[in-house]
Amino acid sequence: MKVLLVYGTSEGQTQTIAHFVAERLVKRKHKVLTVNASQQQFIPKLDAFDAVIVAASLHAGHYQRSVVQFVKQHAAALAERPNAFLAISLTAARADAEDRAGLERCVTRFINETGWTPASIRHVAGALRYSAYGFFKRWLMKRIAARYGGPTDTRRDHELTNWADLAQFVDAFARRRRPVEHNR
């Protein structure tokens, strides 16, 4: 299977996630083209691909504009082939029902904005990359983390991504023997 993997990233964790997904697919003999949505001029026509995975991270309730743009432009082509949305956030690390409902609202806004209803949606916990933040952002993210019982040691970065869970999702997507379930 030829897979197109388009991602948006602001601090880098979604890029790490995209590369993990691509490597996993390649190991299983699939062909993968991984492209940052900010360089979408380099994406060939979607006809060339059997499946598409889109990944983006949440910042103040919104996914990257470049991803929204790409998806909006290709919503019909995405719907014609197996597709999935990897929605990266800090909230995904939490099991709280209210937080989950908040994530749902963000995804619904994304769907309304783009016109694409992903065949499957996976909420994936990202990272707190304190080293990538400027002074104000570091202070803000530390406050947010403290409020939610997250890691507050700003001297290092904290990866919250559940790689085993993501690997399972990728394998199920690649097999496509049964529908990939939403984790929401």
Ligand X SMILES: Cc1cc2nc3c(=O)[nH]c(=O)nc-3n(C[C@H](O)[C@H](O)[C@H](O)COP(=O)(O)O)c2cc1C
Characterize 122-148 residue by residue with b for buried, 16 or more Cβ atoms within 10 angstroms of its Cβ, and e for exposed: bbbbbbbbbeebeeeebeebbeebeee
Number of chain residues interacting with ligand X (CB under 6 A): 21
> Toward ligand X, which CB reaches closer, 34 or 89?
89
Among 2, 48, 61, 105, binds ligand X (CB under 6 A): 61
Q: Between the CA of residue 16 and those of 11, 44, 100, 173, what are the distances in Å?
A: 10, 22, 23, 19
Residues of this chain, 77-96, that bind ligand X according to CB under 6 A: 88-91
Task: Write the single-letter amino acid at 111.
Answer: I
Give the x-and-dash track for 128-157 against ligand X (CB under 6 A): xx-------x---x----------------
> Toward ligand X, which CB reaches closer, 12 or 115?
12
Q: Does 34 sit near ligand X (CB under 6 A)? A: no
Q: Does 65 sit near ligand X (CB under 6 A)? A: no
What is the CA angle 118-110-92, rounded to 5? 80
Stretch in the footprint of ligand X (CB under 6 A) among 19-27, 32-40, 68-76, 120-128: 120-128
> Toward ligand X, which CB reaches closer, 1 or 113?
113
Q: Does 60 sit near ligand X (CB under 6 A)? A: yes
Of the chain, the end-to-end C-alpha distance in Å amounts to: 27
Alpha-carbon distance of 70 to 127, in angstroms, equals: 24
> Toward ligand X, which CB reaches closer, 18 or 82?
18
